[in-house]
Structures are given as structure tokens and as C-alpha cells.
Structure 1
Amino acid sequence: MMRLLKSFRTHKLKNSPPHHKTGGFTLIELLVGIIMTSLIITPLLGLVINMMDTDRKEQAKATSEQEIQAALDYIARDLDQAFFIYDGAGLSAIEARLPSVAVANPGAQGEPVLVFWKREFLPNSVPLSGSNIAQCANNDPGNNCDDGFVYSLVGYYLIKDANCINSSWSCTTRISRIELKDALYNVNNPNPSTNRTPLIAGYEASDGLVPIEQLLEQAGSLEEQLTIWPTNINWTRAQRSASYNYGDTQFVTLIDYIDQTPGSSIATQPACSPNPRPNETTPYLNRQVPDPATVGAGFPIDSFYACVSTDQTVAQVFIRGNALARIRPKNPPPVYAANQSSYFPRASIQAQGSGLLNVNSSP
């Protein structure tokens, strides 16, 4: 009997299901978990966002620095061919005769900053005696043509669009270049017209350019000759229009995203030296281009400017960019602030012109 009861008890214990405790979290436990997770994730998320924003700023800054340096290197190479650079006084004297940004690009405002004359070398471009003029237009070394050169007036402008929303450029400012080339003349032609030699086909002068030979016929020093432009241009050597042809001679953008902050808001830019000019004792205050006194109100005058020594044909060029404008909404663009000055990168370069002035004319 005892053995039977023991067997029955063992069988029942084996077949009885185990008792499980009900699992899960209470509502309070869930709320506590959510709060603790938020306290951990929120700072981490903010840190990640801040790191990503900083990375974007640094990439934009690096891009701006590279572009500014490339622009300065280009300007320096251009200036290397210069034989005369206008300082503040000289630029103010001829500014009204220079190409107009407002005419070329209606709705845009622009100021000429760096303007100079240079001599450009043209290999195999002048026909020798008995050679075909048409062959010289190909600049082929085997075309029996001599080397020649032309004089050009080059201008670098700071340009700002009034309606920048629909523009392909930013709402900051940009630096553009325009070049007005004089014609190439055949110094070997035996039948010159008056005291000038005739024009070589294919190398016509830019409309509206005052030929440098005419400027040099005036009395005075080279600086005086090149800063007094005659208003009545009547020269039979080349037919020139009194106005510029902006279809053929265009403003070409060199670099965009130049700081548009008005110059009066920033007082940390290097100033031009007031040292007296050669053979003078009084300080010379007209080296900066453009002259701040001639620039329109609200237009930036120190994001792109230069200190020019006309007598030494030397220019030190300064550029300040706006890297934040690359990653922020297009309009309005960010303005300079002292606590973000690193994102308004600056650079400068000094260049000296080594071009020669040797006007072609017949005997």
C-alpha cells in the first residue's frame, strides 16, 4: 500500500506543469528607462550634430582658402607682365572712362579695384617681308612670321548683385576680370598710314579702348600720360567705338564668395603705407585702391583691395572670403563677426610688374 501511494505521488509530480512568474516592466519602470535613455542620447546626438556642423564649416573654410590662394596666384602672374599699375589717385582719375559693371550687367554694382597696363607676348604673329598675313593668325612656328606683342588694359572688379536670388552667383560679392586689348600692328609694312602702321587682321583692338600710343603723345611723365585720357578719340589707325562692346569684351568671374560685409564694420585690415614717394617728403596717402572716398556707401571696400606703389610697379593685393555663405541659406548671406573670423579667411600676395613699354611704330 505504501509503495502504491509513493508511486502515485511520483507520477503526479512528474506530470504537474511548472509554475512561472509573470514577466515584463511596469509603466513606472518604462518611464524611468525612457528618461534615462533621453538623458544619455540627447547630449550624444547634440555632439554628433555639432561635429557634423563643424566639419561642414571646416570644409567650406578650406575650400575658400584654396580658391583665394589660387585667385591671388593668378593675379600675381597677371601683374608680372604689368609695366604700370594705377594707385588710388590714378584710378580715381580714369574711373569714369573704364568699363561699367552696371552697363554690362544691369542690376549689378561694381567697383574697379586693380587696374594696370601690361604687354602680352604673341609668338609668330607679325608677318615678315613677303609672308602671308593670314598665315600669321595661326601662330605656327613654321609660318615665316616674327614675334609680336600687344598692350592691354586689365581691370579686376569687385561685383555685387542687387537681385542675387535668381543669379547663378552667390549673394556675397565676386571678383571679375576684364581685359581690353589694343590691336597688333605690322611694323614691317612698307606703306604705313601717316606715322602709324596698318592693322594686322585677326588682332583687332577692343572697342572703346584709348590706344596707349595716343596717351604717350601727351606731355608729362608716364604716370601723368596714363592718367589723363583724352575725351575726343579720333585716330585713323583703328576704328574704335566711343563705348565698349560688352558682347566681345566681357567681365569674367575669377572667384565668388568674397565677403560682402561693409568695410566700416571691420577695422582689422592692414592699412597701406603712407611713406613719401621718391623725391618727396610729405606722406603719400593715395596708395590704396579703390580709394575709400570714392566708393559708394555700404559697398565693401576691404574684402578686396590693394596697396599700390606706382613708381615701383608693385602691388600688394588683399582678399577676404566668406566661407559661411557656402553652407548657409543664400539670402541674406552671413556677415562678418569677430567670434567667427576664422570662417572669413584672409590672404594677401605682393607682386611686381616686369613688363616693358616699347611702342611699335614705323620710322
Structure 2
Amino acid sequence: MKTLLRLLLKSQHQRNRSGPDQTEKGMTLVELLVGAIMAFLIITPMLGFVVDMLNTDRREQVKSNTEQDVQAALDFIAQDLSQAIYIYDNNPAPASTPTTTATGIPALLAGNFIPPPNTTQTPILVFWKRQLLTNSLPLAANVQPDTCTTTATGANTCNDTYVLALVAYYQVRETNGNSIWCQPSGAACPTRIVRYQIQDGLRNPNSIDPNPLQRYFTGVSPAQDRSPAFNPNFDISNPTQNVTTGAANFGNPEVLVNYIDDSPGPTVTPNDECRTALGNPTDTTGVMPTPIPETTLRIPAAPPDTVKSFYACVDTSQNIARVTIRGNSLRRIQTNDTAYNPNRTAFFPTASVQVQGLGARGQ
């Protein structure tokens, strides 16, 4: 029995001595440091590549948005101009004389007929057009314009009609770096295009009252009423006389588009760009036809006309206008290094449109 116990103890002791060591090992500090350096060398270029892709995508997106905005604004102006019956050029004559006919914006400014230019706004395109008033002219004497309706059978109690409307497009420079029109906030704010419009009220075609103010319908809606700035004595045959009741009555303009470039753009070649684009128009009012100078056709005239991001070429005699707009997509995402550069013209989308109005006055 003692011998058996001795053998069992000896066997157990040998089995314990022959078993493997149960120790565990981790990563050393050097191994961790090497791994961190390798991860940094791999991840950093990939992170830079991702950031660059995101920036590129953002630039492409703002470029596309600016292109769309510029084209939409130009389409709107073209539609507006298609109804024009008289477009003011940049003829410097402040008033008509026996030998000079005033046809331009300077005459309007001299008479205080439109909002004056200053360091922040400049009139670029001004014209008269026909403004449609639908279902407004009564067919019966007992119907007022503001009560015009459509019957159950689809018939209208009033006809459509047109009134004169004066439209003025201005380029406005923002000076407040914290304005909503200057985002992201900072210096070198972009410019924007705004639109003023005033219109005549609904006149009674049967009225023969010698006082123009008494020829209007009394029962009208706001859309059918005369604008405070509209002068009832205005005559389209004399487009630079009695034009409005004063610039102070125009009210606030509507913003058409923002992020228009405000830096000197590409050099315009040739210098008679408007003359070339409009087919070299001539003045035929004199004894001999004479070429209309570039300074009369281009609005604003040079000097100072260094920005050229929103300008018009106008031939008043033919009722034709060519409008050019240049946007600035870089200003949507940054405040520095946003000036026009020939090496990155894609970020300054430019578009033009040429429109002939309804016809000359009286046609």
C-alpha cells in the first residue's frame, strides 16, 4: 500500500514538472510606436485626398449654382425686355434741344426721374414696357375692376389690358461685411442685381376728363393701381420728360441675383464691343447717317467702366439691347483671393443675351 501511494505521488510530481509554462506576452512600447507611425504615414495622405475631393466637389457645386443663377437672371431680363417699347441708351445729353435729342439714362438722372447712382448702386438697364393686367378692364358699366370675376361657364366679366410700366435694373455693391448679401462675412463683398418697377394705373377708356388724374377707375385692386412714382402726365412720345413723380417714390427694389463679380474682368477686345455686337448702328436723324459712338451705346460708359460684370449695349432707335452678366462663384465659399483671374475663368461664368423689344414707339 505504501508502495502504491509512493508511485502515485511520484507520477503526479513528474506530470506537473513536464507541463508548459502558462505565461502571456503583450506589445512592447517600441512596437506601438512603430505601428502608430505607420498608421500616420498611411492615413494622412488618404485624409488629405478625401479633403481635397470634398473641396473640389464644393467648388464644382458653387460653380454650377452660379452658372444657373446667372442664366436664370439673364432669362428673366430677356423675358422682361421682350415687352419693351422704349429702351434708354447712354446718350449724355441731359435734355433735348433743337439739334439734340435726349434718349439716355443721363437725362433721367438729370430730371431726378429714377433712383440716383452713388457709390453703392448704378443704373444699367432702364426701359418702358407693356404690363399685362389680366381680367381687369370691365365689359359693363356697373362692374368695377376689383370685382372682375370668371362666371360658372368660364366667361370673364372683364377683358385683359395693358398699362405702361417703367423697369430699371441696377447693380448694387454691398458695403456691410455682415450683411446677408455678403456671406461668408468679410471684405470684398459681391455685387447684386436689383429691379425697380413702377406702372400706370387702370384708366377708364370712356373718360374724357381733361385732368389725367380723373381718368382712372376708382374701384381697383393694388395690382391695378397706379404706382406713386408714375407720372400721369407722361407721354411715351417724349420719353425723357415728365417721366416720374420723383426718385423718392420708387420704393424698395427686388433682388434678382447675388454674387455678381466686383473685380476688373477680362480686357474687352475690341473697344467698340457694343458697336460690333449691335451691327454698327448709325444715327439717321441728321442730314447724313453718322455712327453712334460706343459711349452712347454702352451702359455704363467708360471711364470708369473697369468692372464690366453687368452692363448693357443699347440701340434705342432699333429698340435693341444686349445684356452681359458675369458671376463670381468663388465668393460663395471664401473671402480672400476672389478677384477675376484669366487662369480660372470657369469660376466666373459669363453669359449674354440680345433682345429686340416689341417695336419702336408708336408701332
Q: Is TM more than 0.5 here?
A: yes
Unpaired runs of 5+ residues, structure 2, are 92-103, 183-188
- Contact 1:210/1:229, CA 8 A, preserved across alignment: no
Alpha-carbon distance between aligned partners in 2 of 1:241 and 1:206, rounded to the nearest angstrom = 10
* Structure 1 residue 334: Cα displacement: 2.6
CA RMSD of aligned residues (A): 3.4
The counterpart of 1:344, out of the listed 335, 344, 348, is 348
Change (3 A) 1:344 1:65: same
Residue aligning to 1:116 = 127
The TM-score with structure 2 as length reference comes to 0.75
Helix, strand or coil for the counterpart of 1:38? helix
* Structure 1 residue 102: Cα displacement: 7.2
Residue aligning to 1:69 = 71
Change (3 A) 1:92 1:301: farther
Select between 11-20 and 283-292 the one with higher mean Cα deviation: 11-20
The counterpart of 1:169, out of the listed 169, 174, 181, is 181
Change (3 A) 1:260 1:197: same
Equivalenced residues, count: 322
Residue aligning to 1:200 = 217
Helix, strand or coil for the counterpart of 2:124? strand
> Does 1:209 find its partner at 2:211?
no
Helix, strand or coil for the counterpart of 2:275? coil
* Structure 1 residue 210: Cα displacement: 4.3
Alpha-carbon distance between aligned partners in 1 of 2:231 and 2:122, rounded to the nearest angstrom = 20
Helix, strand or coil for the counterpart of 1:273? helix
Change (3 A) 1:60 1:113: same
Residue aligning to 1:152 = 165
- Contact 1:92/1:291, CA 8 A, preserved across alignment: no
- Contact 1:177/1:251, CA 8 A, preserved across alignment: yes
Residue aligning to 1:293 = 303
> Does 1:188 find its partner at 2:206?
yes
Aligned partner of 1:61: which letter? K
* Structure 1 residue 157: Cα displacement: 0.6
- Contact 1:306/1:318, CA 8 A, preserved across alignment: yes
Change (3 A) 1:193 1:211: closer
Residue aligning to 2:339 = 335
Aligned partner of 2:297: which letter? R
The counterpart of 1:136, out of the listed 128, 145, 154, is 145
* Structure 1 residue 121: Cα displacement: 2.4
- Contact 1:109/1:161, CA 8 A, preserved across alignment: yes
Alpha-carbon distance between aligned partners in 2 of 1:57 and 1:289, rounded to the nearest angstrom = 32
Change (3 A) 1:9 1:272: farther
Counting aligned pairs with the same residue, the percent is 38
Residue aligning to 2:86 = 84
Alpha-carbon distance between aligned partners in 1 of 2:259 and 2:33, rounded to the nearest angstrom = 50
The counterpart of 1:19, out of the listed 14, 21, 27, is 21
Aligned partner of 2:85: which letter? F
1:7-65, Cα deviation, whole Å (9 max, x unpaired) = 94686246544136763444443333332222221111111111111111111111111
- Contact 1:292/1:301, CA 8 A, preserved across alignment: no
1:92-135, Cα deviation, whole Å (9 max, x unpaired) = 332343432679xxxx7100111111012223323446333xx2
- Contact 1:124/1:140, CA 8 A, preserved across alignment: yes
